[in-house]
Structure formats: structure tokens, C-alpha cells
Amino acid sequence: MRITILLFSLICLSLHTQAQSDKSTKGKEGNNRHKKWKQGFVVTVHGDTIMGKMRDEILPPFYDMQYEMGFDNRDGITKHYTPDSLRSFAIFRSQDGRTDTAVYVPMKIDDAVIGHAFFRLYIDAPCKVYGYITVVPTGTASVRTVEYKYIRIGNGSLVPPGRAGFIKDMKGVFSSCPIILAKLESKEYSFSNWEDMVRDYNHGSCK
């Protein structure tokens, strides 16, 4: 319960800080008022694609997941999108001379703290991989960074690949694929190489 309360408090603080930052930078400079924001686009629930700039400075506890995304359109108007108001959004990030397109989609998971939020879409294929980076308390005054990922086939449930119950959980996810089921049974797939299982499924191993 203490950890849940701490995370919830951090979420509230994060959202308040971001909202205050956006409020304090409004002016007549158009999109220039958010110089650190990244280029990207949003896809509305109606399927419209809108180019612009978006906030990419996520505060703890969630480094790669958002409950509200600040967006400047080409007219310099700032809008704030929640998970129920977009199909997806994408941010163009540059590093080491390369541009990475990070795509986020609204997801709901059965978690009292997280619930409905924008998750990063790591793999967009028949077997999708979603996830986010967060920090978790490890003591009275210490935290560590953790990455959580979930896999999903079609409209099935979001299932996190974890060490405990890995074979049982993955058999449920890949129940329609005898080849993967056999490799799970023989332990050719395990928690340490679950990405190989996703890749093989997406490359047509079950066709």
C-alpha cells in the first residue's frame, strides 16, 4: 500500500509540474515557446493526422508513458491529449545521427495505479509488444529504473512475460500455434529469450 501511495503521489506531482510548465510558457512566440519539444504527429480518434511538436520530458515515476501529452500544432496552439482522445502519437527522436520514431498508443491494464495511459508500441505486428519505463522504490529513500513490457496477439489480453509462470502464461498467449507450444514445452523458449518467440511468430512460424 505504501508503494502504491508513493507512486500515485509522484504521478500527481508530475502532472502538476508539467501543467505549470506549459502554462508559464504560453505567449506570442508561437511554437518557439517550446523549443525543447520534439517534432512528431498525433492521430486523432477520427483518423486525422496532425503534425506538430510535443513534450518529450516525462517526469518520474513514468519515464516512457504518459497520462497527458502536450502538443503544439502548426498554428502554435497548445492542446493537451489524454489516452481517450487519440488513436496514437509519434515522436521523432535523434541520437547518434539517426532518427528514431517512437510510437505511443492508449492502453488499459488491470492496475490500480496505471490504468489507462499511453504506452510505447515497440513492435507493431501480429504479436505486438507494448511497454514503458518507470522507477520503483527499493528502500526508504532509493529507487531503481525498471522496464515493463507486455505482449498481445490480436484483441487478446495484455500479458507481461515474467520469470514466474512463464511457460504457462505464454502457452495461453500462443495457444493457436503448435510450433511455439512445442518449443515452450521443450524449453527452447524461456524468459531469457522471449523476444525470439515473438519474432518467430511474427515471421510466420505458425502459418
Question: Model confidence over 170-190: pLDDT tens digits?
Answer: 999 999 999 999 999 999 999
Alpha helix (H) ranges present in the chain? 2-24, 166-173, 178-185, 194-202
Q: How confident is the model at residue 112 (pLDDT cuts 50, 70, 90)?
A: confident
Q: For the residues 135-164, what does the mean pLDDT come to? A: 85
Instruction: Give the model's pLDDT for residue 60.
Output: 54
Instruction: Give the model's pLDDT for residue 57.
Output: 67
Helices (H) and strands (E) in the chain, counts: 4, 9
Instruction: Give the model's pLDDT for residue 115.
Output: 79
- Cβ neighbors of 128 (< 8 A, separation 6 or more) are 121, 151, 152, 153
Scanning the structure block, which residue is given the C-alpha cell 519474432? 199
DSSP letter for each residue of 107-161: EE-S-TTT-EEEEEEEE-SSEEEEEEEEEEE-SSS-EEEEEEEEEEETT---B--
Task: State how far the Cα of 193 lies from the Cα of 197, in Å rounded to an integer.
Answer: 7
Query: Is residue 110's pLDDT more than 80?
Result: no
Q: To the nearest whole number, what is the mean pLDDT of the chain?
A: 81
Instruction: Give the model's pLDDT for residue 105.
Output: 92
- Cβ neighbors of 56 (< 8 A, separation 6 or more) are 36, 37, 38, 91, 93
| Spatial contact of 106 and 84, defined as CB atoms under 8 Å apart | yes
What does the block give as the cell for 31? 511554437
What does the block give as the cell for 179? 510450433
Task: State how far the Cα of 139 lies from the Cα of 124, in Å rounded to an integer.
Answer: 36
Query: Is residue 153's pLDDT more than 70?
Result: yes
Q: How confident is the model at residue 25 (pLDDT cuts 50, 70, 90)?
A: very low
Q: 34 in helix, strand or coil?
A: helix
Q: Write down the domain spans for the chain.
A: 2-160, 162-207
pLDDT digits (tens, 9 = 90+) for 60-108: 555 555 678 889 998 889 999 988 999 999 999 887 778 889 999 998 8
How do strand 38-44 and strand 49-54 relate by DSSP bridges? Answer: antiparallel
Instruction: Give the model's pLDDT for residue 28.
Output: 46
| Spatial contact of 167 and 180, defined as CB atoms under 8 Å apart | no
